[in-house]
Every structure is written in C-alpha cells, then in structure tokens.
Structure 1
C-alpha cells in the first residue's frame, strides 16, 4: 500500500520473446505426428476400397462428407471452447479421435464402417485445429507469431510428406508377406499408423501448456459473430463462399 492507501499496480507480465518455446515446439511435434497418422490413410485408401470391392464413386462421397464434417466442426469448435473452457482437453480429444478413426477403418469390411472411421478422424481434425492455433497465439508475442506459425506449418508439412511415404513403404513391404485376404497389407499399414497418432496425443499432453481458461457460459454463437468488426465479417463471408 502507498501513502494514499492504494495498492501498487500489478506487475507487467514478462515479454514472450522466446518464440520457439515449449508450447510452440510441442504443437509442431504434435501436428507432425498427427499428419503422419492420417495422411497414411489418405494415400492407401483408394487401394483399400478396391480390395474391399467398394465402387470407386464411394471414395468421393466418403472424402466429401468427411471434409464437410471437418469444415463445420472448425466453425463451431472455438465457440464451444469459449463457452466450456479447457481448450487443451478439447484439443487432446481431437487428436485422440484420429487414431480411433484409423482403427475403425482398419476393421472395416465395407464402406459404412470406413465412412464412420473417416468422419471420426475428420471431426477430430476440425475440433482441434482452431483451438490449437489459439493456444500457440497466446504462447508468443505479437511480433513473433509469424515465426511461431511458420515453424508449426513446417512441422505439419513434414508429417504430411512422411505419412504417405510411410504408407507406400509399409504397403510395399506387407505385400511381400503371405496373406489369405487381399486387404491384409492395407490393414497392417493402418494399424501401424495408429502409433504416431497415439504419440501425438502424448506429445500435446506433456509439452503444451494452456494456462488461460476462457470460460463464458453465456456466450451466444450468432451474437459473437455480430460483435466482430464488419470488415472482418465480410472477409469471413468471402472465404466461406470459396
């Protein structure tokens, strides 16, 4: 207290000058492992469908529905997190759904379970993306956000490149083994891809920190949209159309 009976001002938090901190590195590693997991499925899915005897047209239907689920989930995931808080828990759930979807696909004997597995994986992808990015934004200073997200996207791209390479290599190796069913090599590759998916969950759990809990149970979705600046709403509308 000073001589006027007033409390001293709160200390200013230290600047977050170290952009490559534990949270940014953890988010990058997690994204690389997550892409490593589900991009393996992307590259072998057409062959797996053919081995199951599923018509080629179903591939477009499955991927179209899955992409739509991911897009709409991204639209509401931030709103859900703002109402409930605990963003890290929701991101962990999102990353955990990816290997669950992989397992469903590996067990599929026809297109229904395959579609369900893909939807589960893509729902998790849509759920985690915006919340993970919000955590990364708050882990660095405004001046270093470009470097932080550049690192994150680079790590994500590495996983997206290595995932298909792993799928092709595993498939080539597995086809040299003796299988009673033509789907065997594909199922083996899918089961192996679950491993990096599980490691992604572990990496985010142990490395990423999210101390801020933005709980707002009274938040309304359309009211929050109307509160955004008009120029930004126009920008969102244009992006949404495309």
Structure 2
C-alpha cells in the first residue's frame, strides 16, 4: 500500500518579513525630518518606536479579550509615541493630516528583494504558500500585487478575520483551521520576527526564521528554530532541504 503523499504547506508573516518598512521610514523623514531634528529624534527611530508601540498595545488588547484591528491602534498611537520620545508638545511637530498621510504611505511599503524569488521557488517545487498577518486583507494583497508576489487573496489569513492577534497561540490554532491543516499534519511557519516564529513553534509549526529584519536571532530568548537564514531566498532553500531530509 502506498503511503499518503506529504502535503507541503508553508505560512509567511507579511510586514517585516516579505515586506520592508523602509518606505515608511523614508516618508517620515521627508515630511517631518527638520522638525524632528530640533528634538534630536531620528525619523527612523520614531517610525520604529511607533510600529513597536502599536504592536504591543494591539497584542495586549487581544490578550485581554478586547480585539481592536491593528490599523486602528497604529493610527491612534502616533502622538503618544512622540510624547514618550521626549517631545513636550507633540502636536507642535505634527498634526492629524500628517498621521493620515503616513497611514496611506504605509500601504505603499515594498516587498523585500528576494521575496518574489522565495515564493516562486517554493511554489515551483510543489509547496502551497499562505500568508498570515495582523494587517488588513486589502493592504496586504496590495503589497503582493505591487511587488509581483504570487500569493493571492484567498491564500491570505488575517487576524482581523479570526478575531485573535499574534502571538496568542489561539491565533495559530485558528490559522491551521483556516488553511485546512489537520491534526498531525506538518506545516511550516516563516517570519523575520523572533517572537512570531517562536510562538508558531509552540503551536506545533515547523519554524523558519530569517534574520533580514532583526539580524540577531537571540536563541537564548526565543529558542532554537528549525531553519535560520540571512535571506528569503536562502530561507526557501533551507526549508526545502529540511523537508526533503524528513521525507527520505
């Protein structure tokens, strides 16, 4: 009797992993750079702090049972972040129109070099590729369309739709339900966020971590991943190699 063919599923995080923040940092510099310099505040650091603070508040709300879409939390946090950055009067540096502009420009972030090749390589070798994101579907699909990444809307699962934010383990369990992964079936999770890959591993996924965003894997904090690579192309090759060994 022939054994059941092994289904090769892999899920990618989107923003930070397949999509870079560089455009977002650039537009903050272009719009507010001179005003921020008066407070010795680099635009890149402000953008990073804004993103990280929003992710924390979004996650804490989800953990407490009050899910709020990331975009809503993100937009609301801007002036609070300026306050924590040491700007005495945040609205003297920027206004609501600036925030609306940044939110629109955030939708124009670009896919990373190598993202298209990574996904194309996996799909060519018979992998089913999914995306799991805290972003809204329209924005994420827009990133893929602009960057020529062959992940269609039907292969995108959003936290907004399942009502639970990453990195709650329930989110990854619901992800498995959405993509039809049964009990005992193996599926990979790939991201450039250590916390995301680590949580997916505890939820039963095989783990693939790319250092393109954070550079330092910090295994003493997040644990050892099944695959670690410095580029998205390298990640695809290592995942395929690991899967081939598992099947041999």
TM-score > 0.5, shorter chain as reference: no
Larger radius of gyration: 1
Q: TM-score, normalised by structure 2?
A: 0.26
* Larger fraction in strand: 2
TM-score (norm. length: structure 1)? 0.27
